[in-house]
Structure 1
């Protein structure tokens, strides 16, 4: 047995169809997918079988003379013919060159008792038919055929089909509706034998041939091959055998049949899923859309508001540790700015993040996901647009809780006191102590001159008082400068802390959205791109 070698182009197209079938469930009609699966199975089976044999099926209705034509071509009385109501109930096969044909006949499911070999064909001048497997199919319009799909099955499996039409029913609507209208693109592997030509005059036959050609062209057979025949007189038998012999000698009919079937299926797929601009649709989520989704989810979580609140609370809490104490003490005499700014409420809200009491807004999260899917699916086929939206929403119900739980880990620690705050507080209270000491010195010198004990007489020295005043002024200035500097450092640090918090929260939001939204969407976009790439490759 020789395995059939496909010409360049058929194998990639079959591979493309395999991909379409793989990605089609849920997006293509199941009946169409089943047909594609059957074609792939048939192509795989046929290409594994003998390439030295060409299967030619004689198909026709009751009384068309199909069996007589079968016997005339084979030169033997192999298929029974009737007089009153001639019908063919079982498929008969005549093989020119039996070697290697067994597996192919088994695949065709031809019963052993209905297989015949023309081993002596070379002696009869039929060498051009070597490699032919000629089938006489059951009548497709007989009563038995209504419950027996053998004719339909073998018409689909045959490499070349010869439709045997009789002059009275050549335009039969049932035949054309069930079979002929599906032959568009199958011109090279379809022949029409207008049989029983002996019953017509030359003029009538010519008129019928013209009419049949016109009818076939109207039904999509662009280049019909019509051969008038007569099994009684032998007219046209050699012409039909020549047509069959050409197909057999070229060893191309099986490939042409598969190519025609692929073309017809590709046209049907194209009607359902037009290629159009489908391949221009994105196959992944670009960086700009990722950032847009992250921005929208950050707004849904309230990242900017949390960052701003944290910055305010950080700056306000620093008042307890840094800054020149005297102004702070005087400020206590005025209304509390914390209460005026309601920062205590903000502080409580931020603390709520650590307990999981603050969560992302589900409606805003849904809107962000919807916007991403809308932007990516513009121009897509409705089926694929729906699948992209479904992929985007596949985990959206879990997304708000996932964002809240993940952000809990980076919530700000409001009770944390930086070390430099403590150091600066020691320094500032040292200056406070120095200023207080200066005040005591100054008062002692002014109020009790000469009245102090000898060990404290320096405090009463009037000459030192100007220097004490200068020292006190320096302490005040140094304290004020350190207070201003510390406030600037606090504000700068608060801004940095806010940026760090927002950056970390944004990073985590981006990671969660990538896992729960972007990845499912990209998988669907990849399927969309692979599907339409396969459709494009199928139509090459």
Structure 2
């Protein structure tokens, strides 16, 4: 008999997506949902590795439903004990049509060796359409024995196709519908309902029960219920049920359909817990505009513009001690100093404070900047993920102000150093001062010293040279004043450039610290969010 390998296209990518959801879900999804998803992945992995030539069909039902009798009727052998004991079936019995390759699957199902039965080839001549069937007679699901009840639940979840054996008295039993039937939405293709003991009903009563059961199942979410009336006593409907089972066995797709149905059910639960909505539109990384916005906010929190302005003022104040025409500076000592009214000494202390690391970033303003970034990035996210993004942004909240302060202290200006051209200009200006003083001495000497001088000093006493000396002195004063004005202009230009350099370097360092301590943790969470919702989308196929 030629069989085809069940197509698995579409199932593998969805299982891979579910694996990603399970990987990224801890802390975001309910633990029960994650546990169920992990169990489904394990079950799917195990089942897909086992025989695809066999279809596991489980007969499930409550005590007295005639499940074991129906099992014997389908198999044609008295394999499972029947009677009125509660529970009648204490252990699962299995009948295999086509034993080759079934052992690993039966081991996975945990069917005891003494409860495994194989149809001999001589007996299979009329049931060749069932080749590949593993028929299970499960313990009663409403058993008073907890052990058998648990085994029934386990095998109902592992079976490729479940045949629910219902009896006319308890077909609408609330416990059965609450525990099992309501969980069958989407499992229509791998679920059959056998309304057994039909021999106890008249034709009219049976027709009415079938209609009632169909309506009940549809209300429970089974869109297209497959109901087969049977009687293990008279054999009525047994062949019909065998035909339904044979169709599933022949297609070799029940295992895939069961996993797809389980996956669909889990997908619905995930969708209810974490709706897709517009979540895929959320950013997966921090864009450049938000990075710059964070850097700007942190620079304001640290006071970078104020530090730059203070540095520029201090630069100008310190230059007055080195450059400029000395005479005005000396005369200024005898009148109130306007620089003190600007409190430049305090500004200088502030700059020194940064140098020694005593100035701290404002924690509250830093926190506000981080909060604003997280708010903008998490808008529209599920509350769980929004909280996660905020936690990631604040993951280094305690260390961030200190890290910013320590890093910026490395770029604070050195107040014990001055530009070399300041020193050269100071030498030049004092040379002019010496020249002017020499001119004054010359002029005084020319006016007071007698004309009868030694030949070597006659030039000093020469009255004709005095105008030239006065002109030289005026030139020295003018040159000194011009060099003072020029030096002040150069100082202002240098101060502006130094301020730009300092602010640029401080901004660069603020951006680097924020990238490491804020942006990177946030991007990891955004990447996790994007991967999670991408996996949810892929899970739906």
- Contact in 1 for aligned 2:90/2:148 (Cα 8 Å): no
Deviation at 1:309, TM superposition (A): 1.1
Confirm or deny: 8 A CA contact 2:188 2:222 kept in the other structure: yes
Instruction: Find the aligned partners of 1:212 and 1:132 in 2 and give their Cα distance.
Output: 27
Decide whether aligned partners of structure 1 residues 443 and 85 sit closer, same or farther in structure 2, where only a CA change above 3 A counts.
closer
CA displacement 1:350-390 (0-9 Å, x = unmatched): 11122221111111111111111111111111111111111
Q: CA separation in 2, counterparts of 1:376 and 1:147?
A: 52
Name the residue aligned to 2:402: 401
CA distance in 1, matches of 2:5, 2:398: 54
Alignment correspondent of 1:493: 494
Match of 1:329 in 2: 330
Verify the 8 A CA contact 2:323 2:487 in the aligned structure 1: yes
Contact 1:162–1:193 (8 Å) recurs in 2: yes
Give the match for residue 519 of structure 1.
520
- CA pair 147-123 structure 1, distance change in 2 beyond 3 A: closer
Instruction: State how 1:235-314 maps to structure 2 within 5 Å.
Output: 235-314=236-315
The verdict on how the C-alpha distance between 1:275 and 1:252 changes in structure 2, with shifts beyond 3 A counting, is same
Deviation at 1:207, TM superposition (A): 1.3
Aligned to 1:352: 353
Secondary structure at the counterpart of residue 119 of structure 1: coil
After the TM superposition, which of the residue ranges 465-474 and 41-50 deviates more from structure 2?
Answer: 465-474
Alpha-carbon distance, 1:6 to partner: 5.3
What is the CA–CA distance in structure 2 between the aligned matches of 1:378 and 1:459, rounded to whole Å?
89
**Corresponding residue SS for 1:368:** helix
Query: Structure 2 CA distance, aligned partners of 1:420 and 1:15?
Result: 70
Q: Distance in 1 between matches of 2:452 and 2:184?
A: 131
CA distance 1:451–1:239, shift in 2 (3 Å): farther
Distance verdict in 2 for CA 1:59–1:7, change over 3 Å: same
Long gaps (5+) in structure 1: none
Aligned counterparts of 1:83 and 1:366: Cα–Cα separation in 2 = 73
CA contact (8 A) 1:3 1:50 kept: no
Whole-Å Cα distance in 2 between the matches of residues 437 and 84 of structure 1? 134
Asked whether the 8 Å contact 1:374–1:389 carries over to 2, the reply is yes
Matches for 1:14-413 after TM superposition, within 5 Å: 14-83=15-84, 87-120=88-121, 123-145=124-146, 148-413=149-414
| Pairwise CA distance, 1:4 | 7.2
CA distance in 2 between counterparts of 1:254 and 1:121 reads: 28
- Assess, with a 3 A threshold, how the Cα gap between structure 1 residues 24 and 6 changes in structure 2: closer, same or farther: farther
Note closer, same or farther for the CA distance 1:235–1:452 as it changes in structure 2 (3 Å cut): farther
How many angstroms does 1:439 deviate by?
2.6
* Secondary structure, aligned partner of 1:149: helix
Maintained 8 Å contact 1:298/1:304: yes
Q: Secondary structure of 1:347's partner?
A: helix
CA distance, structure 2, for counterparts of residue 105 and residue 194 of structure 1: 28
Mean alpha-carbon deviation: is it higher for 337-346 or for 127-136?
337-346
Q: Which runs of 5+ in 2 are unaligned?
A: none
Q: SS of 2:47's equivalent?
A: helix
CA–CA separation in structure 1 for the residues paired with 2:412 and 2:231? 94
TM-fit CA distance, 1:511: 1.2
Query: 1:121: how far off?
Result: 6.0
Alpha-carbon distance in 2 for matches of 1:449, 1:24: 108
8 Å contact from structure 1 (residues 137, 151) kept in 2: yes
Aligned-partner Cα distance in 1 for 2:39–2:86: 35
Deviations 1:152-200 (A, max 9, x none): 0000000000011111111111100000000000011001111111111
| Matched-pair contact (CA < 8 Å) for 2:160–2:258 | yes
Would you say the 8 A contact 1:5–1:47 is kept in 2? no
Q: CA deviation at 1:460?
A: 3.2
Residue of structure 2 equivalent to 1:429: 430
Residue aligned with 2:354, SS = helix
Indicate the RMSD between aligned Cα atoms, in angstroms. Answer: 1.8
Q: Per the alignment, in what secondary structure is the counterpart of residue 125 of structure 1?
A: helix
Provide the TM-score with structure 2 as the length reference: 0.96
Q: Count residues in correspondence.
A: 539
Deviation readout 1:66-125 (Å, 9 max, x if unpaired): 111111111111111104656211111000000000000000000111100013266431
Please state how far the C-alpha of 1:451 moved relative to its aligned partner: 4.5
Residue 307 of structure 1: how far off its partner (Å): 1.4
Bigger shift: residues 316-325 or 300-309: 300-309
Measure how far apart 1:493 and its partner are: 0.8
**Alignment check: 8 A CA contact 1:315 1:490 kept:** yes
- Cα separation, 2, equivalents of 1:321 and 1:5: 91
Distance 2:297 2:356 in 1: 24
Tell whether the 8 Å contact from 1:57 to 1:158 is kept in structure 2 after alignment: yes
Residues 49-71 of structure 1 deviation map (CA, whole Å, 9 limit, x = unaligned): 00000000000111111111111
Q: Secondary structure at the match of 2:324?
A: coil
Q: CA deviation at 1:524?
A: 0.9
In the alignment, the residues of structure 1 paired with residue 105 and residue 119 of structure 2 have an alpha-carbon distance, to the nearest angstrom, of 16
The question of whether the paired residues in 2 share the 8 Å contact of 1:24 and 1:33 is answered with yes
SS at match of 2:320: helix
Distance 1:325 1:155 in 2: 101
Q: Which moved more, 1:3-12 or 1:466-475?
A: 3-12
Residue 239 of structure 1 deviates from its aligned partner by 1.1
When residues 59 and 318 of structure 1 are mapped into structure 2, their CA distance, relative to the original with a 3 A threshold, is same
The SS at the match of 1:312 is helix
| Kept in 1: contact 2:61–2:166 (CA 8 A) | yes
Distance (Å, rounded) in 2 between the aligned partners of 1:40 and 1:86:
32
Which secondary structure state, in structure 2, belongs to the residue aligned with residue 94 of structure 1?
Answer: strand
Higher mean alpha-carbon deviation, 463-472 vs 164-173, is at 463-472
Query: How far apart in 1 are the matches of 2:49 and 2:4?
Result: 5
